[in-house]
């Protein structure tokens, strides 16, 4: 009789827990959601976050607030998101900077694979090699020749040490056999501002952030970094075809949540993010910005991130970049 009673109590408790979990899932979200963008306002990741936020707010019935946390090559925002409660009210927009940092930084206060759970790879795209109009280079070959004639004189901006825009410049230096000076900023928006002001000579920046500047003539686009030309800038060659065969870096954005976030909450978020990036108007806007909508499954995104960590580790080793 005692065993039967214990079993009955156990079953009753399990049923109550299930009911509570269901009620909790049905009540999500009950307050605004913070969407951490690990870069400054005006950067590519910021633009994409702010493009998606209104659609998500409408679908979820709660405001989705973009929280710009620039610094440490995108790692400040990642650390803040990793330490947040796993309750579905803090999300993180991951970029290539986080897989790069896994190998480039010897001490990080978070682990990308341990402290986050992937929701979806949202977009893929290009970085664009741009120069200030005052720089006398109208092609990648001319920029290489200029850098060779002025060793240590040209400088390039990045969104921070360990950011993909930093590694893009280092790979350029190595493959072109030139020496240019790295100028890191606390976010892509700040780097772009100084590019527009002529304080730096060139940079590799997310195409979503600089395409408008190139179209208006405020910056000069020389090439894109992907394996093929960008639909948003078909007249620009890839860096590989223009001057440096084998040069390739892809830009991407994907949403994650702190580890241990409830599966039902993750499922709801996955459904709404995938729906948002597949909306016709969002797909069109992303395409105009040089990005392609994806909307992967969590498993696909997890596998993608692991491959990115491995790939960037090999690039960093080959480039001889010391741990930061």
Torsion of CA 116, 168, 311, 207, to 10 degrees: 60
Output the pLDDT for position 11.
Answer: 42
Poorest-confidence range of 52-66, 98-112, 257-271? 98-112
Residue-level pLDDT at 25: 55
**Does the pLDDT value for residue 144 go beyond 90?**
yes
pLDDT (0 to 100) of residue 72: 80
Cβ contacts of residue 121 below 8 Å, gap of 6+? Answer: 252, 253, 254, 294, 295, 296, 300, 301, 304
pLDDT in tens, 171-200: 999 999 999 999 999 888 899 999 999 999
CA distance linking residue 94 with residue 186, whole number of Å: 16
Domains annotated for the chain, with CATH where assigned, are: 32-124+251-319 (3.40.190.150), 126-242 (3.40.190.10)
Lowest mean pLDDT among 19-33, 68-82, 94-108, 130-144: 19-33
Full-model pTM: 0.79
Asked if the model's pLDDT at residue 134 lies above 70, the reply is yes
């Amino acid at each position: 009789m005692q065993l039967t009673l214990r079993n009955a109590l156990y079953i009753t408790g399990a049923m109550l827990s299930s009911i509570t979990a269901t009620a909790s899932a049905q009540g999500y979200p009950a307050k605004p959601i913070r969407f951490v963008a690990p870069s400054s306002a005006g950067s590519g990741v910021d633009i994409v976050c702010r493009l998606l936020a209104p659609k998500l707010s409408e679908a979820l019935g709660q405001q989705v607030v973009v929280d710009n946390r620039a610094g440490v090559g995108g790692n400040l925002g990642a650390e803040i998101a990793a330490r947040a409660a796993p309750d579905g009210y803090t999300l993180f927009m991951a970029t290539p900077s986080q897989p790069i940092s896994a190998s480039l930084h010897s001490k990080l206060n978070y682990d990308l694979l341990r402290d986050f759970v992937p929701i979806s790879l949202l977009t893929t795209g290009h970085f664009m090699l741009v120069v200030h109009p005052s720089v006398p280079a109208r092609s990648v070959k001319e920029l290489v020749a200029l850098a060779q004639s002025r060793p240590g004189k040209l400088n390039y901006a990045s969104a921070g040490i360990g950011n993909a825009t930093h590694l893009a410049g280092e790979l350029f230096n190595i493959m072109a056999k030139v020496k240019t000076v790295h100028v890191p900023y606390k976010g892509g928006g700040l780097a772009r501002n100084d590019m527009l002001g002529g304080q730096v000579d060139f940079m590799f920046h997310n195409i979503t952030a600089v395409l408008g500047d190139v179209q208006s003539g405020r910056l000069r686009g020389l090439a894109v970094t992907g394996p093929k030309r960008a639909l948003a800038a078909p007249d620009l060659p890839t860096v590989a075809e223009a001057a440096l065969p084998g040069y390739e870096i892809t830009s991407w954005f994907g949403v994650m949540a702190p580890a241990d976030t409830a599966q039902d909450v993750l499922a709801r978020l996955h459904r709404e993010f995938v729906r948002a990036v597949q909306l016709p108007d969002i797909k069109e806007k992303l395409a105009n910005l040089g990005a392609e909508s994806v909307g992967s499954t969590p498993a696909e995104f997890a596998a993608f991130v692991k491959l990115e960590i491995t790939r960037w580790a090999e690039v960093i080793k080959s480039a001889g970049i010391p741990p930061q």
